[in-house]
Every structure is written in structure tokens, then in C-alpha cells.
Amino acid sequence: MSIHAQKAKDFIANEERTNWHDGALWHVRNKRDISASGVPEWEALRNTASQIKDNVLSNLDTYLIQFEAAAKANGVHIHWAANGNEHNAIIGDIIDKHNARKIVKSKSMLTEECGLNHFLEDNGIEIIDTDLGERIIQMRNEPPSHIVLPAIHIKKEEVGELFHAQLGTEKGNADPTYLTKAARTHLQNKFFEADIAITGVNFAIAETGGVVICTNEGNADMGCHAAPVHIHCMGMEKILPKLEHLGVFTRLLARSATGQPSTIYTSHYHKPESSKEMHIVIVDNGRSEQLAKEDFRNSLKCIRCGACMNTCPIYRRSGGHSYHATIPGPIGAILQPNRDLKAYSDLPFASTLCGSCSDVCPVKINIHEQLYKWRQEIYKNNELPKSKVTSLKIATKVFKSPSTYDFLGKFARASMKALPRFMMYNKFNDWGKHRELPQPPKQSFKEWYKNKNNE
Amino acid sequence: MKYNVGLFIPCYVDQFFPEVGIATLRLLEKHNCNVIFPEQQTCCGQPMANTGMEQEGKKIYQQMAELFKNCDYIVGPSPSCVYHIRKHYDVAEQTEEIKHLRANCYDLVEFLYDVLKITQLDVSFPHRVGLHKGCHGLRGMQLDKPSELQKEVAPKWTTILHMVNDIEIADLTRTDECCGFGGTFAVAEEAISVKMGKDRVQDHINNQVEVITSGDMSCLMHLQGIIKRQKNGPKIMHIANILNGDTL
């Protein structure tokens, strides 16, 4: 059984929890539908966003250089990182330069991807995630299970227990307002103590050299305004050519993510306040390779809204951790194989290719088509399980020969009728574990057709 | 006679659900088509290709196309297989036969709606029906409006089904969620496939559905397997049988 299949099976073993998880995310998908239906030009917006990203991906080198020059002119320090290690080392250097000990960080899937928290903790630096969901999973020592709703797999009662143990809240109190207030007090102190604030980046504007950060909690701003140094970490694909393009994306992002018309905070950072320092780290980490793959380059259009996860019938029932990857869900299943085909060869198969992901995607990434294409790559690279390869090679031979097909079909149907139940339903029959096989008919369609014509 | 129509019967329909093939044939004949059934056909190659073995599946594509080269249209009771031919036969050498097949291959309901442009059916089905909108037909071929999209899409399945007299079509809570069949997914990811199927069945039960119908027998085979095992749930019937006036 593949890793995903095993983890999904384990998740589903608790059916009540699976139903709760599925229902919570379906609710978000519904909010997205309602919100999107309120924008008459929704499909035109998606097309426009997709085309802007096409332009960006085709001219990325030019835009990145333009962005760097504009940001430098604003007094921002720009750093380039080829991979996760370089990214972490750059941040380590900035921390050393300032003798910093305490860091606050707002949501950033890129720093997850680079393993920044572990790197800093190993070096004796305190790093606190300030997004509430992120803080919860950090306290639980877990990775996020969703890119927008990192703690969606955790129930409020479990948060109550966690906060009781770690923040001293009342035992048994799981009131969300009460718990959020406790988290706010805890985090406020962290904001004021922090030497450096780190954020992710939603959009970087080549024309202005500014970065745009979208949050609901205002935690990115709390961090950046309080700390003397702020660092913004961005994947190199986050570029938009001009500020006028931003509105297309902010209209799509929050509606697709949570059904909100916009995030509560959309913050623009252009230059440091006087006596402060602002850094931007631009990271490649496999993106150039993905860009070079024509069939897969569109995956770099992703704006990390998470809509594909909320709509995915598999994700909703298997949980984000079943993808054993930084980015889970359908988008993760097309991004991760680029990083390590062998390690993630199960993910493109964690899908029925239903296509719902592609239809909700605000930048029109053809996710399900890329899943199909990754499957082909996996076979070509000999990473498909032998059992699948052998049986499907035999099937091909059978289908190539109509007489063999007719004969074996008849034989299989006769066997299904003749065999006792225990021979048909056993551990070798995965179909039949929780499902009946179809009743074999007296004759196939072909046999019926022949007889009809002979009558 | 209007058209020479090549009847395409997917392998699992041939082997397990001949009644769906029979209904398709009779329905096309009722609508003045001259139906040709090439008996040498086997499988469209989708099981291999969806598992990543397109290179294997490809070996069947030309053979499929050859069989139907003299037909005006090629019609089958399966959006999923038709979608595969249209969309994924792009990797085969684009011979005249392949091009002809891809351009003229239709799902049954799509053919009735788009080509024959039927406006009525003289059949009755006095039952409360839940329409399962299979994903390839829905999102791949847009035979109905996918719930994700914010634009007008002609509801071909629903329109054709409404032409049946006395039929009552139930509203479902989740109008077009995948049933979890997914070809080899059904066994490779058995736990989740079954869970998705159970949830789909429950939605139909909750909405007092008497019969679940669909354009794709593969989805229905999966749902039927679950219904039979849990001994609770609606009956299933392929849309071709309802449109042909077959009784429950």
C-alpha cells in the first residue's frame, strides 16, 4: 500500500472525525462558491490572473532584476537563495549580525518548505509562529495540515487542552473567544520582545520593489512594526509586473481561500522606517527546474489560496498529513514530485482525477491534467509499483487481442458465478473488502449481439 | 436513416452490464440511426493510461480508431471513455483514423442533445431519481454545469432526463461530488474510495432518492457494490436504460 493510501486508511478508521473534517472543509468550499457567485466577472478574473501569471513565468528573469533594483533603490536589502539551506543561512547571518535571540514569524509556507524553524531552534534561537493556527501546531510540534488553515485537523476541545497545558488556561474551557484572547495575550508579549520579525510574501511588485502580505490577524504587521529588523521571504514566482495587476489577485485570493471578499489586512511594505532594516530573501529551491518543465510550469502560478484542498474529496477525507509533504492536497501532489519523484510518487495517485481542483483554482492551474502527466512520468521512471505494472501489461495484451478478450471475459464471468464466496472475497480482493462485485450476466453484450443477428 | 453510427461499448459494460449496451443500441435505432457494432472492439485504454502507463495503452488506440473509420459518428454510453479518447489519444500518431475518431466520438446523452437535438422522448419513468454527475462528463465534457464554475453551461444531462415522462429528479445536498471510483484508484486507495462512495450513497438516501442514475456505469458499479454490501440504499440504473423506457 502506498504511503498516502496507508495514512488515509488510518485517518478514515475514525469515521466520525473524518466526517467532521470533511464537513468543516466543505463548509469553506461552500463559502467560496457563495463569494465567487457574487462576482459576475469571476471567470474573466480567473482568466486574467492566469494570463498575468503566464506573462510573469515567461519573463521572470527580467521582472526579478527589475524588482531587485527597485527594492534596493528603496533601501531594502535583497538576498538570493538557490535552495532552502542558503535561505536559512542568509537568515542566520542577519540574526548573527544583530545578535538577535528572539524571532516572531507570520505565516509562510516557504519557510516551512525550507525548514527554517528547525534550523533556528537547533541554533538556539527562539522562533514563534504568530498566526494562531500556526502557533497551535507549533505548540503541538506538528507540521501544518493545510496551507491556509494549518490547524484545521484539530478540534477546539483539543486546543483547550493544549492551552491549558502550555498557557495555563482553565481546564475544560474550549470557548474559541476565550482561547483566542489567551493566545493574543501570549503573543503580544512575544511581539514586544522580538528582535526580528519574519514574514512570508503573497505578492512582490516588480515595478515598485514592494512586497504585499495578506493576513486576517494582522500578525505580520504587529511583528514588522514592533521589531527593529524585518525579513520577508519569498519564492521567486511571487512576482507581479505592476501594482495595477495586484487587484486582480486580491479579489481572487480571499474569496477562493475562505469566501471573504478580501483578507482583513493587505499590507504593502516598500521601505524600512528610519533606523530600521528591511530584508527580502528571494528563493529558488527547485522552482527553476519546475519552470523548465513545460507540462508542469503552470503549477508555479499558485497563489497558495488552498481552494483545491477544500474542494478535494480525497483531501477532505484523508487530512493534510496523509500527503507527508509541506504542501498537501492537489497542488502539493503536483509540486512535490518535482522535488523528489521517488519520495512523492504516491501523491499523483491520491486522486480520482475528478477535476474539481482545476475548476476552483483562481489562476486556472490545470491541476488534474498535471496529476495525469506526473503519473506518466512516474511510470517512465520505474517508480510505479510492480503489481500495477504487471497486471496492466497483461491487460494491454488481452485488450490487443479481441479473441483473447472475449474468451477471458467469458471465463472470468463463469468463474465468478461458480466460485464459492470465500474464494471471491478475501484479502487478495481489495474491491470486495467493503463492496460487492457486480453480478455476472448470462451473456456479454457481444454475445447478445451475435445471437440477435443469428436469430 | 440519418447517420451511420458506430456503437462503442466499453469493456466493462460489455462484460458486466450488457443491458446498458442493448438500451444504447435500441435508443439510437429509435432515433433513426443506422447502428454499426464493430465486434472486434475491446477497451479504450483508459485503465492503463490513468495509471501512468499511457505508453502501454497507446498500443490499443490505433486499433480502436481503425474499427470506426467508416462511421459518421462513434457513440458510447460512457462519458468517461469518450473523454479519454478525445482528450488523451493526443499521444497516438495522429493518423486520419485517430483524428476521425477523436473528432466524432460522442457520449450517448451528448449525442442526443448536440447532434440529434431531440426535444422529446416517449417514455415514462415514474420514480424519484438522483442524477450522479460523473466527473469526466461533468468537468471534462461539461454535460451539466459544474458547481465550481460561475458561468452558464447548458445542462445536457438534466435537460434530456427531464424529457422522460413522470420522472422526478431529486435535489442533492452535494450536487456533483466525486463518487470515489477513479479506476485503479478504487483498489489502490480502497479505504478512501469506499468512504467517498458511502458518502455519496448517503446523500441520495437523505434526499429520498429511489433510483441513482448516471451516464457512467463505472461510478454506478462502485455505488451499487456499496449499496449491496450495506444492504441499504437506492437502486441503480444507467441513464440509457431510463431514456430507452426500460422498467425498474
**Grid cell of A298 as nine digits:** 503552470
Interface test with B, best of A2, A46, A435 (most B CBs within 10 A): A435
Q: What is the pLDDT of residue A455?
A: 67
Q: Is B146 in the same domain as B105?
A: no
Q: Which domains does chain A have, with CATH numbers?
A: 3-7+296-380 (1.10.1060.10), 39-285 (3.40.50.10420), 387-454 (no CATH)
Asked if A4 lies within 8 A of B189 by C-beta distance, the reply is yes
Q: State which residue of chain A sits closest to B47, comparing Cα positions.
A: A392
- Evaluate whether residue B123 is within a structural domain: no
- Evaluate whether residue B232 is within a structural domain: yes
Closest CA to A144 of A309, A9, A303: A309
Say if A20 is an interface residue toward chain B (CB within 8 Å): no
* Domain stops at, among B85, B115, B145: B115
CA atoms within 13 A on the CB side of A286: 16
- Evaluate whether residue B34 is within a structural domain: yes
At A251, is the pLDDT very low, low, confident or very high (cuts 50, 70, 90)? very high
Facing residue for A12 by CB, picked from B16, B47, B195:
B195
Say if A245 is an interface residue toward chain B (CB within 8 Å): no
Domain count, chain B: 2
Residues B15, B8: contact at Cβ < 8 Å? no
What is the number of other CB atoms lying within 10 angstroms of the CB of residue A403? 9
Q: Which domain holds residue B185?
A: 128-243
Which residue reads 505565516 in cell numbers?
A: A107
Closest CA to A24 of A16, A13, A14: A16
Weakest mean pLDDT among A149-163, A293-307, A402-416: A402-416
Q: Report percent pLDDT > 90 for chain B.
A: 98
Closest CA to A372 of B51, B81, B163, B203: B51
Q: Is B190 in the same domain as B134?
A: yes
Nearest CA-CA distance, residue A264 and chain B, Å? 24
Q: Is B132 in the same domain as B236?
A: yes
Q: What is the pLDDT of residue B92?
A: 96
**Grid cell of A240 as nine digits:** 507581479
* Domain stops at, among B115, B140, B165: B115
Closest CA to B176 of B196, B190, B151, B206: B196
- Kindly report the average pLDDT of chain A as a whole number: 96
pLDDT digits (tens, 9 = 90+) for A357-373: 999 999 999 999 999 99
Q: What is the pLDDT of residue B181?
A: 97
**pTM listed for this prediction:** 0.96
Q: Is B186 in the same domain as B223?
A: yes
Angle separating helix axes A3-12 and B190-206, nearest 10 degrees? 40
Say if A353 is an interface residue toward chain B (CB within 8 Å): yes
Classify the phi-psi angles of A337: left when phi > 0, otherwise alpha if psi is within -120 to 50, otherwise beta: alpha
Size of interface A-B (CB pairs under 8 A): 211
**Grid cell of B143 as nine digits:** 454535460
Nearest CA-CA distance, residue B234 and chain A, Å? 15
Facing residue for B140 by CB, picked from A42, A355, A447:
A355
Q: Is B66 in the same domain as B156?
A: no
Facing residue for A8 by CB, picked from B19, B189, B225:
B189
Asked if B149 lies within 8 A of A12 by C-beta distance, the reply is no
**Grid cell of A290 as nine digits:** 519546475
Q: What is the pLDDT of residue A421?
A: 86
CATH number at residue B154: 3.40.50
Q: Is B178 in the same domain as B93?
A: no
Facing residue for B148 by CB, picked from A314, A353, A359:
A359
Q: What is the pLDDT of residue A417?
A: 86
Q: Is B157 in the same domain as B231?
A: yes
ipTM (interface predicted TM): 0.97
Asked if B43 lies within 8 A of A405 by C-beta distance, the reply is yes
Q: Report percent pLDDT > 70 for chain B.
A: 100
Q: What is the pLDDT of residue A422?
A: 83
Say if A213 is an interface residue toward chain B (CB within 8 Å): no
Classify the phi-psi angles of A296: left when phi > 0, otherwise alpha if psi is within -120 to 50, otherwise beta: alpha
Facing residue for A402 by CB, picked from B40, B56, B150:
B40
Closest CA to A304 of A134, A150, A103: A150
Say if A156 is an interface residue toward chain B (CB within 8 Å): no
Is residue A95 pLDDT above 70, yes or no?
A: yes
Q: What is the pLDDT of residue A252?
A: 98
Q: State which residue of chain B sits closest to A359, comparing Cα positions.
A: B148
- Evaluate whether residue B228 is within a structural domain: yes
Q: What is the pLDDT of residue B154?
A: 97
Nearest CA-CA distance, residue B54 and chain A, Å? 7
Residues B45, A400: contact at Cβ < 8 Å? no
Q: Is B142 in the same domain as B238?
A: yes
Q: Is B234 in the same domain as B168?
A: yes
Q: Is B184 in the same domain as B100?
A: no
Q: How far apart are CA B191 and CA B186, in angstroms?
A: 9
- Evaluate whether residue B121 is within a structural domain: no
pLDDT digits (tens, 9 = 90+) for A374-395: 999 999 999 999 988 999 999 9
- Evaluate whether residue B120 is within a structural domain: no
Is residue A44 pLDDT above 90, yes or no?
A: yes
- Evaluate whether residue B105 is within a structural domain: yes
Is residue A453 pLDDT above 80, yes or no?
A: no
Say if A34 is an interface residue toward chain B (CB within 8 Å): no
**Averaged over B162-166, what is the pLDDT?**
98
Q: How far apart are CA B31 and CA A436, in angstroms?
A: 36
Residues B139, A358: contact at Cβ < 8 Å? yes
Interface test with B, best of A28, A371, A390, A434 (most B CBs within 10 A): A434
> Which chain B residues touch A2 with a CB distance below 8 Å?
188-189
Weakest mean pLDDT among A57-71, A169-183, A375-389, A405-419: A405-419
Residues A444, A407: contact at Cβ < 8 Å? no
Facing residue for B147 by CB, picked from A15, A33, A384:
A33
Asked if B14 lies within 8 A of A313 by C-beta distance, the reply is no
**Helix count and strand count (H, E) for chain B:** 13, 8
* Domain stops at, among B62, B94, B115: B115
At B25, is the pLDDT very low, low, confident or very high (cuts 50, 70, 90)? very high
Q: How far apart are CA A416 and CA A351, in angstroms?
A: 29
Q: Is B194 in the same domain as B222?
A: yes
Q: Report percent pLDDT > 90 for chain A.
A: 94
pLDDT digits (tens, 9 = 90+) for B51-104: 999 999 898 999 999 999 999 999 999 999 999 999 999 999 999 999 999 999
Q: Is B42 in the same domain as B138?
A: no
Is residue B1 pLDDT above 70, yes or no?
A: no
Nearest CA-CA distance, residue A426 and chain B, Å? 13
Asked if B22 lies within 8 A of A448 by C-beta distance, the reply is yes
Facing residue for A317 by CB, picked from B63, B181, B195:
B195
Question: Would you call A211 exposed, middle or buried from its count of C-beta atoms within 10 A (0-12, 13-18, 19+)?
Answer: buried
Asked if B51 lies within 8 A of A379 by C-beta distance, the reply is yes
